[in-house]
Amino acid sequence: MIELNGITKVYKSGRLAVTALQPATLTVPAGDFVAIMGPSGSGKSTLMNIIGCLDRPTNGEYRLVGEAVSQMNDNALAYTRNRRIGFIFQNFNLLKRLTAAQNVELPLVYRGVGARERNRRSLVALESVGLADRVTHLPAELSGGQQQRVAIARAVVGEPAILLGDEPTGNLDSKSGLEIIALFQTLNEAGMTIVLVTHDEKVAAHCKRVVRLLDGSIISDETVAQPIDAREECRAFRQEEEATT
Amino acid sequence: MSIFESIRVAWLGIFGNKLRSALTMLGVIIGVAAVIALVSVGEGATSSVSSQIEGLGANLIVISAARGSGVSLTLADCEEVVNRVPSIVHAVPSLPNSATVKWQNTNLEWVSIEGTTADYLEVRSRTLAYGRFIDGQDVAERGKVAVVGQTILDDLVSTGTPIGQTISILGQQFTIVGVLAEKGSTMGQDQDSIVLIPITTAQRLFGTTTISSIYAQAQSREVAQLAVSHATAVLEKWFGKEDVVNVQSQDQILETLDTMTQTLSLMLGAIAGISLLVGGIGIMNIMLVSVTERTKEIGTRKAFGAKKWDITVQFLVESIILSVSGGLIGIIFGASGAMVISRLAGWNSGVSITAILVSFLFAASVGLFFGVYPAVKAASLDPIEALRYE
């Protein structure tokens, strides 16, 4: 699904050249659930921007679903982001003047899907994240966890090849965060390839595989022996709440 | 993304900031309204004045003494013009003045009194409602007769048949012999508030031997210009020196007036055009603010597949919607303003269609022109930077 081969990234500012990414090679097969970890400045954001087709590598080859992304022009990159990638951001990045359904429609708008079909698909996507009753709400009228679920609906509505999350639980309380991770696990079980960038070990413990970066290099790539099931944790959480009330 | 989608997205942007959008539009509204109102008023004034000058008489030539020449026109000069210039068919002397007119116990102040001769009706394109006009005998005998306009009748001689009534001008008794058919106003002057008396009587009444101008009628419009130069030559020979008289045909007067009013209209239009330009700069200013404010939105749209072109069109459509709707509202205000003014001034001129088209197209292109820079700026934002923007 994702094939990174000797990818480097060098930022030039004036005479100074900063290497953000040493030659990195990484393969993510379809159906994988990867956490990319590392302290700030380790190059994980750069790696994610390249995987997300927001940025081009300085050197090396990147193939996404067999297509050579590293050779694409701006318009082709926009097309690839639109069809192949679903972004989920730490700050949700919902358009505040649009309703939940209109936000979810966004990738379909740039794909040229007709209004009626867009609406139908956005309702299906919102239902799948459990927000069928919040369709006409504005982001400001939703809780953080609900906003992130709208964002996930927006990311999956176009049926992309991969979901790309940038600290998706970073702005949420632990319960909402757990619910979001549970949603990712459900999507992954249904076959979705997911890559999350995080510095939270608890989040990483729910993934199938953890890739660690330090100073622009991949220092480890390990399979998680027993990923924690967030849905069971959620259930336990709820029982605990019921017990106390 | 289809253009329909772009309009929908732009519309959301405009409605998301109603007050700001309205204020931005106001610049264009005022500009367009000003162009339409000012140009319409200018055109209305021009056409109104032109038609009034044409209404003064057919193929009219006005002769007056040149200012500072030391020459005064007399009745003899008038005779000379008719006799020596074949292309001039009639010439009537004019000696206008104003005085208080009295009838029984009623006074009417500041009435226009004009001394003239028998050909007045012909030259000035007037007709009689009833009675008779001043004739050659009245002029020769300094007859105490008067032909009055309808307003004089309405305001002064209110009862009985006007013919045969006696009015008093500067203590002299005049008998009304005829009544002029109504004509209305010319350049703010009521053409029916007038008392016509024989020129000779007028000269004695006002204590002068001169006349102020000669109204001559050329045979046709085509020979009017010839008549002007001929009359000038005749009078210069008559007086024995050059540049003593001003001779102007109606066409010349119209031309002079046209140049004047056109310059005026152009000036008014230019001033209004500048305000339209200022409105355009207002649009650009607000669009730039809007681009900065929506940096994150632009980044998000790009992350989900918006191409540069999509973002450009979104912001361009927004500024065009602002300028076009501002233009439409401006047309409504400008046109109604122009109509109110022309009605108040009593012109039967409408709203300038040219001004509407030109100012609207100008407003739309102002929106396009001043929208391009902010739109391109928005489209060329780096998605990574834009997503990081707080």
DSSP letters for B145-193:
EEEE-HHHHHHT--SS-STT-EEEETTEEEEEEEEEPP--EETTEETTS
Q: How confident is the model at residue B245 (pLDDT cuts 50, 70, 90)?
A: confident
CB A47 within 8 A of CB A215: no
Q: Is the dihedral of CA A132, A134, A136, A142 positive or negative?
A: negative
Q: State the alpha helices, DSSP H only, in chain B.
A: 3-15, 18-55, 75-84, 120-123, 136-140, 150-155, 199-205, 224-239, 250-293, 295-303, 308-345, 353-379, 383-388
> How is residue B230 written in tokens?
């001929």
| B383 interaction partners in chain A (CB closer than 8 Å) | 54
For A111, the closest of B296, B301, B305 (CB atoms) is B305
Task: For residue B197, give the 3-state DSSP assignment.
Answer: strand
pLDDT at A160: 94
pLDDT at A183: 93
Q: How confident is the model at residue A99 (pLDDT cuts 50, 70, 90)?
A: very high
| Higher per-residue confidence, A163 vs B4 | A163
| B13 interaction partners in chain A (CB closer than 8 Å) | 97
Average pLDDT over residues A196-222: 92
Q: How confident is the model at residue B311 (pLDDT cuts 50, 70, 90)?
A: very high
| A110 interaction partners in chain B (CB closer than 8 Å) | 1, 301, 304-307, 310
The secondary structure of chain A, three-state, reads CEEEEEEEEEEEECCEEEEEEEEEEEEECCCCEEEEECCCCCCHHHHHHHHCCCCCCCEEEEEECCEEHHHCCHHHHHHHHHHHEEEECCCCCCCCCCCHHHHHHHHHHCCCCCHHHHHHHHHHHHHHCCCHHHCCCCHHHCCHHHHHHHHHHHHHCCCCCEEEEECCCCCCCHHHHHHHHHHHHHHHHCCCEEEEECCCHHHHCCCCEEEEEECCEEEEEEECCCCCCHHHHHHHHHHHHHHHC
Cα(B165)–Cα(B195) distance, integer angstroms = 13
Percent residues over pLDDT 70 in chain B: 98
CB A193 within 8 A of CB A51: no
CB B1 within 8 A of CB A110: yes
Question: At a CB cut-off of 8 Å and minimum separation 6, what does B344 contact?
Answer: none
Q: Is the dihedral of CA B145, B148, B153, B155 positive or negative?
A: negative
pLDDT at B188: 64
pLDDT at B116: 94
Q: Cβ–Cβ of A95/B300 closer than 8 Å? A: yes
Task: For residue B379, give the 3-state DSSP assignment.
Answer: helix
pLDDT at B54: 75
The pTM score is: 0.73
Q: Is the pLDDT of residue B348 over 70?
A: no
| Higher per-residue confidence, B13 vs A170 | A170
> How is residue A210 written in tokens?
């953890």
DSSP states of B249-300 as a string? EHHHHHHHHHHHHHHHHHHHHHHHHHHHHHHHHHHHHHHHHHHHHTHHHHHH
Digit-coded pLDDT (tens) for A6-33: 999 998 877 888 888 888 899 999 999 9
Percent residues over pLDDT 90 in chain B: 31
Q: Is the pLDDT of residue B93 over 90?
A: yes
* Chain B interface, best mutation among A81, A116, A162, by max B CB count within 10 A: A81
Q: How confident is the model at residue B301 (pLDDT cuts 50, 70, 90)?
A: very high
> How is residue B338 written in tokens?
């122009």
Q: How confident is the model at residue B345 (pLDDT cuts 50, 70, 90)?
A: confident
Cα(A188)–Cα(A34) distance, integer angstroms = 10
The kind and range of the H/E element at B96 are strand B88-103
Cα(A140)–Cα(A241) distance, integer angstroms = 27
Q: Which amino acid is at B198?
A: P
Return the DSSP state at B301.
Answer: H
> Quick one: closest CA in B to A52, which residue?
B303
Return the DSSP state at B216.
Answer: E
The chain B residues in contact with chain A (CB within 8 A) are: 1-2, 5, 9, 12-13, 16, 296-297, 299-308, 310, 383-384, 387
Q: What crossing angle do the helices spanning B308-345 and B295-303 adopt, rounded to 10°?
A: 130
* Chain B interface, best mutation among A110, A111, A171, by max B CB count within 10 A: A110
* Chain A nearest CA to B302, separation (Å): 7
Question: At a CB cut-off of 8 Å and minimum separation 6, what does B243 contact?
Answer: B66, B69, B236
Q: How confident is the model at residue B238 (pLDDT cuts 50, 70, 90)?
A: confident
CB contacts < 8 A, A to B, total: 60
Digit-coded pLDDT (tens) for B151-201: 888 888 777 788 888 999 998 999 999 999 988 776 667 788 899 999 999
pLDDT at B338: 87
On average, the pLDDT of chain B sits at 87
pLDDT at B214: 92
> Quick one: closest CA in A to B384, which residue?
A54
Q: Is the dihedral of CA B111, B116, B118, B121 positive or negative?
A: negative
Q: Is the pLDDT of residue B273 over 90?
A: no
On average, the pLDDT of chain A sits at 91
| A74 interaction partners in chain B (CB closer than 8 Å) | 307-308
Question: At a CB cut-off of 8 Å and minimum separation 6, what does B208 contact?
Answer: B95
> How is residue B68 written in tokens?
């500072």
> Quick one: closest CA in A to B11, which residue?
A97
Cα(A62)–Cα(A54) distance, integer angstroms = 13
Q: Is the pLDDT of residue B363 over 70?
A: yes
* Chain B nearest CA to A236, separation (Å): 36
| B307 interaction partners in chain A (CB closer than 8 Å) | 74-75, 78-79, 110
Q: How confident is the model at residue B124 (pLDDT cuts 50, 70, 90)?
A: confident
Q: Is the pLDDT of residue A62 over 90?
A: yes
The CATH class given to the A30-53+81-244 domain equals: alpha beta
Cα(B327)–Cα(B367) distance, integer angstroms = 10
Q: Is the pLDDT of residue B300 over 90?
A: yes
> How is residue A113 written in tokens?
């899907």
> Quick one: closest CA in B to A157, which residue?
B304
The domain locations on chain A are 30-53+81-244
Alpha carbon of residue B27 to chain centroid? 27
Highest mean pLDDT pick, A102-116, B145-159, B251-265: A102-116
Name which of A134-148, B49-63, B106-120 the model is least confident about.
Answer: B49-63
Q: Cβ–Cβ of B1/A110 closer than 8 Å? A: yes
Average pLDDT over residues B35-51: 81
Name which of A82-96, A149-163, B30-44 the model is least confident about.
Answer: B30-44
Average pLDDT over residues A96-116: 92
Task: For residue B323, give the 3-state DSSP assignment.
Answer: helix
pLDDT at B50: 78
Q: Does the interface ipTM go beyond 0.90?
A: yes
